[in-house]
Amino acid sequence: MSSHAYDPAATVRAYLAVFTALMVFTGLTVAVAFMNLGLMNNVVALGIAFAKAAMVMAIFMHVRGSSNLIYFCIFGSLFFLSLMFYFPLIDVLSRNLLGIPGK
Amino acid sequence: MSEVATHDSPGIGSRLQPHFANAQQQYETATFGMWVFLVTEVMFFGGLFTAYLIYRIQYADAFVHASHHLDIVLGCFNTVVLIGSSLTMAMAVHSARISKSKMIAFWIFMTMILGGIFLGVKAYEYTIKWQHGLFPANFFFEAPDAGPQRIFYSLYFAMTGLHATHMVIGMGIMVYIAAQALKGSYTERWYTPVEIMGLYWHFVDLVWIFLFPLLYLIGRH
Amino acid sequence: MESSDQRVTYINAAHTVRSWLLTIDHKRIALLYLVSITVMFLLGGMMAGAIRLELLTPEGDLLGSDTYNKAFTLHGIIMIFFFLIPSIPATLGNFLIPIMVGAKDLAFPKINLLSWYIYIVGATFGLVATVTGGLDTGWTLYTPYSTAFATTNVVLPATGLFITGFSSILTGFNFIVTIHKMRAPGLTWFRLPLFVWAQYATSLVMVLGTPVIAITIFMVILDRSGFGIFDPNIGGDPVLFQHLFWFYSHPAVYIMILPAMGVISEIIPAFTRKKIFGYGFIAASSLAIAIIGFIVWGHHLFTTTQSMYAATVFSVLTFAVAIPSAVKTFNWAATMYRGSVSFESPMIFAIGFMGLFLIGGLTGLFLALLGLDMHVQDTYFVVAHFHYIMVGGAIMGYMGGLHFWWPKMSGRKYPEMPAKISAALIFVGFNGTFFPQFIAGYAGMPRRYHYYPDEYQILNVCSTMGAAILAVGYLMPLFYLLWSLRHGEEAGKNPWGVLGLEWTIDSPPHPHNFHETPVVDYEPYDYPEAAHVLGLHHVDPEEAVHV
């Protein structure tokens, strides 16, 4: 369906490489969870999760080399998702700062 | 293949819908359509992640206590199984691109087996939680912060339950795709349903990639 | 010229009930939706009638408290979810988008039919819920009342809403993919009609926002089953519910208004015979409204325990979202300036829209002001504001569009005089109903109460009188539009004499819309450069469209 020739061997190699990397990262995230890095625990855990997600999307979901429209879908949805996180977050984090009850 | 298949092309002819000009347009439309659907799924799960985020900030300690009741070994095992099922699904799509019909069905069956293992482990975990009184609608676990822990478990069951439901639906559709593959419906000229099934299944994997650390790995040090 | 009786059209192509209920023709699906939403509109209107009759007297003497709560809840749910949200997209959008992009159908015709069936299932849940006790939480389903205390059946109508949401998502998803992938050769984005731009922006909101109300309803159903996500007794936060609910429900109002704005953008250049002023700005403003509309929802939470800081941010952003709407209104007015304006019925609806939307939009700015909102939140001021936008704006746009494209959809012209009278009655009746409510609300009358102090009675009586006139105005089209199907004059391809791809094909169209894929190498609204087209009523259907 795409205009360039399909290379079966290279594709399977890429899939296996991603699978291996995902296993490594999974082990890493569990290992890091047992270390005490304070707030960085959350940063590392999410960072690893995003790295795994990026690999799955790029190689398993064929995003790498696909049209810009697909990238638009991915980053667009992440953007709107972040809006949904951001505003309730600023609400919750800034409550009771003025000493006025209920605000 | 570099030529654009039209209504008259061999093999694709009957698959090309009348309102499309050529197979390339139809394929791009179908995959773009699946991505738009995945966007809706991101926002769908996103609502639960929002609730999780807000409550985790408000009840950090209770979330740590609640997360410790989850079995990290089972969670890790399930993560490996699900990522494995993503690999087998990718191999199914690969088999379609090289027109190996029986292999498509084989890899889909492997995906379903791994998915089944995942769901089995989840069912076991749910049973254990129920027995310990951690199921939110029947909560009798005693602790000073039992309230917020119950909120954690409400979100745990909602998020993993919704995820599991998506898996069950996906596996149901896989039965149909595998049956079609065995009939020889998918070749390198037209394998769109396999590709789209792959996108859906990888998305299910993506959700779990985030659920695992957020639910199982809070404050384990 | 063949009359529509001899020509194959999407209407006469097949006659069986099965051919209608299992159709995948976007034009037939549009008509299926048209019938369904009209039924729901009449039902929601009856609820409104019950409310207005109750409010004629200060005592709560017509309906009991519980029944009144159910009446306004169901009025809101039916009108928003089962009428307004699908209205223009599922009827006019479904009918026109493929034609306006030069395609034979939408990208996924079977999913289009599926979306209608999902709508019917969801509406059935809603109707069953209505007759088995109703719902009294208000359409906003606020927790913890809806999750812990309501004794009416919450899960049933909530499930109905959950299901109907998917109808909306599938429609939006179909439009997005169609507009991206199915445009005719030469039809670049900036040659698209503004109705398509408006529908595209609407579809973005549908696809991004509707899943969030779905998951929120899911959480409410879980809480009804014993989970405690929003239970304050165990630390849950009802304001979190409101954040999640309004994350969708505010953009939902843009789902309701953007298509109407798209309709107005088509009607005004048509009846002014002038190129629309600032095409690029109007297209961009549709997208701007859709995007900024996602970050203003906190203005519904001003009187809750939402923090002062978040409230201030939302207030500023709410002022910002008014700007693109203002851009559109200025551009429509500028289009009319020095144009050759004629006052056919669609134009009367469009001009009515401009005036009423102006008032509704400006009062929105009053509500965006934190200090004033504290005073008028949960009063009739808010009720009047959103009815000016939803009814004075969205429904006027829908009626205008229905009239404008009726000859195209049915092949018949409706009688113009009753249509003008209907438009006038709607305008007068609408203002009679809702303007007194601004005054009552500002003077302190709270909403969702069925009894009130005596001093508000005169305003309520005026409002109910207006509602009676409004009802007549809305019922009239039911008669003359249906009458036109049998007795109306044959419309021909271009009864209004205006520009647009849809006016170059038969009325009613052939099932495949175009006999040959059109090639679009011209700008939209190309008056008066393309004035020579306006004289043409006979276009050889075998020719590709070249203007």
Q: Kindly report the CA angle at C168 between A68 and C177, in degrees rounded to 5? A: 25
B89 vs A contacts (CB less than 8 Å): 60
Taking each helix axis from N to C end, the angle separating B23-58 and B60-68, rounded to the nearest 10 degrees, works out to 110
* C317 at interface of A, judged by CB pairs closer than 8 A: no
Q: How far apart are CA C311 and CA B126, in angstroms?
A: 40
- Selected residue of A56, A60, A68 to mutate for chain B interface (largest B Cβ count, 10 A): A60
Q: Which residues of A touch C (CB under 8 A)?
A: 69, 77, 80, 83-84, 87-88, 90-92, 94-98, 100, 102-103
Q: Is the link from the previous residue into C541 a cis peptide, with omega within 30 of 0? A: no
C180 vs A contacts (CB less than 8 Å): 69
Tokens of C172: 């939006």
Q: How far apart are CA B221 and CA C410, in angstroms?
A: 71
Contact B136 C214 (CB under 8 A): no
- Selected residue of B151, B163, B203 to mutate for chain C interface (largest C Cβ count, 10 A): B151
Going by C-alpha positions, the residue among A99, B47, A81, A84 that lies closest to residue C307 is A99
Instruction: Give the model's pLDDT for residue C48.
Output: 96
Question: Which of B28, B40, B47 is opposite residue C244, by nearest beta carbon?
Answer: B47
B215 vs A contacts (CB less than 8 Å): none
* B18 at interface of C, judged by CB pairs closer than 8 A: yes
Q: Domains of chain C by range and CATH? A: 17-545 (1.20.210.10)
- Which chains, if any, share at least 3 CB pairs under 8 A with chain B? A, C
Task: Judge residue C197's burial from the number of C-beta atoms within 10 Å of its C-beta, 0-12 exposed, 13-18 middle, 19 or more buried.
Answer: buried
Q: Kindly report the CA angle at C345 between C339 and C348, in degrees rounded to 5? A: 60
Confidence band, pLDDT 50/70/90 cuts, at residue A101: confident
Identity of the residue numbered B11 = G
* C229 at interface of A, judged by CB pairs closer than 8 A: no
User: What is the CA C170 to chain-centroid distance, rounded?
Assistant: 17
**C446 — phi, psi (to 5°)?**
-75, 160
3-class DSSP assignment, residue C334: helix
Question: Which of A69, A83, A103 is opposite residue C307, by nearest beta carbon?
Answer: A103
Q: Which of residues 71-110 of B touch C (CB under 8 A)?
A: none
Q: How far apart are CA C481 and CA C403, in angstroms?
A: 9
Confidence band, pLDDT 50/70/90 cuts, at residue A99: confident
- Which chains, if any, share at least 3 CB pairs under 8 A with chain C? A, B
Instruction: Give the model's pLDDT for residue C546.
Output: 37
3-class DSSP assignment, residue B187: strand
B46 vs A contacts (CB less than 8 Å): 81, 84-85
- Selected residue of A68, A69, A75, A91 to mutate for chain C interface (largest C Cβ count, 10 A): A91
The answer to whether C178 and C106 have CB atoms below 8 angstroms apart is yes
Residue of C nearest to B21 (CA): C182
Q: How far apart are CA B34 and CA B16, in angstroms?
A: 18
Q: Which of residues 133-162 of B touch C (CB under 8 A)?
A: 136-139, 146-148, 150-151, 154-155, 157-158, 162
* C259 at interface of B, judged by CB pairs closer than 8 A: no
Which CATH number describes the domain made up of B38-217? 1.20.120.80
Contact C309 A94 (CB under 8 A): yes
* B198 Cα to chain C: minimum distance (Å): 19
pLDDT digits (tens, 9 = 90+) for B167-211: 999 999 999 999 999 999 898 889 999 999 999 999 999 999 999
Contact C234 B58 (CB under 8 A): no
Contact B25 C177 (CB under 8 A): no
Residue-level pLDDT, tens digit, chain B, 221 residues: 334 555 555 445 567 888 888 888 889 999 999 999 999 999 999 999 999 999 999 999 999 999 999 999 999 999 999 999 999 999 999 999 999 999 999 999 999 999 999 999 999 999 999 999 999 999 999 999 999 999 999 999 999 999 999 999 999 999 999 999 999 989 888 999 999 999 999 999 999 999 999 999 998 87
* C226 Cα to chain B: minimum distance (Å): 4
Tokens of C33: 């939706």
- Selected residue of A13, A50, A52, A61 to mutate for chain B interface (largest B Cβ count, 10 A): A61
The answer to whether C303 and C373 have CB atoms below 8 angstroms apart is yes
Question: Which of B27, B54, B214 is opposite residue A88, by nearest beta carbon?
Answer: B54
In this prediction the ipTM stands at 0.92
Question: Which of A87, A95, A100 is opposite residue C298, by nearest beta carbon?
Answer: A87
pLDDT at A1 over 70: no
Going by C-alpha positions, the residue among B122, B117, B44, B33 that lies closest to residue B83 is B117
| Long-range contacts of C485-490, Cβ-Cβ distance < 8 Å, separation of 24 or more | C485/C410, C485/C412, C488/C410, C488/C412, C488/C413, C488/C414, C488/C415, C489/C412, C489/C413, C490/C3, C490/C4, C490/C411, C490/C412, C490/C413
Contact C169 B25 (CB under 8 A): no
Q: How far apart are CA C117 and CA C192, in angstroms?
A: 30
For chain B, the domains span 38-217
Q: How far apart are CA C36 and CA C34, in angstroms?
A: 6
Residue-level pLDDT, tens digit, chain C, 547 residues: 445 567 899 999 989 999 999 999 999 999 999 999 999 999 999 999 999 999 999 998 899 899 999 999 999 999 999 999 999 999 999 999 999 999 999 999 999 999 999 999 999 999 999 999 889 999 999 999 999 999 888 999 999 999 999 999 999 999 999 999 999 999 999 999 999 999 999 999 999 999 999 999 999 999 999 999 999 999 999 999 999 999 999 999 999 999 999 999 999 999 999 899 999 999 999 999 999 999 999 999 999 999 999 999 999 999 999 999 999 999 999 999 988 899 999 999 999 999 999 999 999 999 999 999 999 999 999 999 999 999 999 999 999 999 999 999 999 999 999 999 999 999 999 999 999 999 999 999 999 999 999 999 999 999 999 999 999 999 999 999 999 999 999 999 999 999 999 999 998 999 999 988 888 888 888 887 665 555 443 334 444 333 3
The answer to whether B92 and B198 have CB atoms below 8 angstroms apart is yes
Structural element, H or E, at residue C459: helix C457-487
Residue of C nearest to A93 (CA): C307
Q: Is the link from the previous residue into C508 a cis peptide, with omega within 30 of 0? A: yes
Signed CA dihedral, C429, C432, C435, C440: sign only: negative
